[in-house]
Structure 1
Amino acid sequence: MINFSIDTKRILFLVGLFILFGCNKNEELVGFYLDRGFEFTLLNNKNEDLLSSETTGAINEEDIRLFYSVEGELQPVYNANFDYPRNFLIYEDGGMNRIRIFMNSSDTEEKPITIIDWGNNDTDTVAVEFTYTSTMTAKRKVWVNNELIWDYQDDEFPLITLHKDY
Structure 2
Amino acid sequence: MISAFKFIFYLVVLFSVYHCKDRDETIQGRVIDIKFDYNILKNGKFVFDDPNFKKENIRLLYLKDGVWTEYYQAHLDAAYGYMFYNKDNHNYIRLFPYDYANDGHETFRIKYDDNTTDDIQAEFTYWKNGESLNKLWYNLKEFPNPTGSTFTIEK
Q: Specify if TM > 0.5.
A: yes
> 1: distance between equivalents of 2:73 and 2:12?
44
**TM-score of the aligned structures, taking structure 2 as reference length:** 0.81
Mapped pair 1:86 → 2:86: no
Mapped pair 1:50 → 2:54: no
> 1: distance between equivalents of 2:119 and 2:15?
54
Structure 1 range deviating more: 105-114 or 24-33 = 24-33
Q: Give how far 1:20 is off.
A: 2.0
Q: Give how far 1:106 is off.
A: 2.5
Residues 57-111 of structure 1, C-alpha deviation per residue, up to 9 Å, x if partnerless?
Answer: x531111001122233222111111112111111110011100010022243442
2:18 equivalent in structure 1: 21
> 1: distance between equivalents of 2:66 and 2:15?
53
2:17 maps to a residue whose letter is L
> 2: distance between equivalents of 1:110 and 1:89?
23
> 1: distance between equivalents of 2:11 and 2:154?
65
Partner SS state of residue 19, structure 1: helix
> 2: distance between equivalents of 1:122 and 1:2?
80
Relative to structure 1, the CA distance from residue 2 to residue 63 in structure 2 (aligned partners, 3 Å threshold; closer, same or farther) is farther
2:18 maps to a residue whose letter is F
Q: Give how far 1:121 is off.
A: 0.9
Question: Is the contact made by 1:64 and 1:116 (CA closer than 8 Å) also made in structure 2?
Answer: yes
**TM-score of the aligned structures, taking structure 1 as reference length:** 0.77
Mapped pair 1:151 → 2:149: no
Aligned residues: 154
Mapped pair 1:32 → 2:30: yes
Q: Give how far 1:146 is off.
A: 2.0
Structure 2 residue corresponding to 1:112, chosen from 82, 103, 106:
106
What's the Cα RMSD here? 2.9
Relative to structure 1, the CA distance from residue 15 to residue 29 in structure 2 (aligned partners, 3 Å threshold; closer, same or farther) is farther
Residues 96-149 of structure 1, C-alpha deviation per residue, up to 9 Å, x if partnerless?
Answer: 11000100222434421221100141111111111112301111111111221x
Structure 2: tracts of 5 or more residues without a match: none
Mapped pair 1:126 → 2:120: yes
Q: Percent identity?
A: 26
> 2: distance between equivalents of 1:24 and 1:50?
57
Question: Is the contact made by 1:59 and 1:119 (CA closer than 8 Å) also made in structure 2?
Answer: no
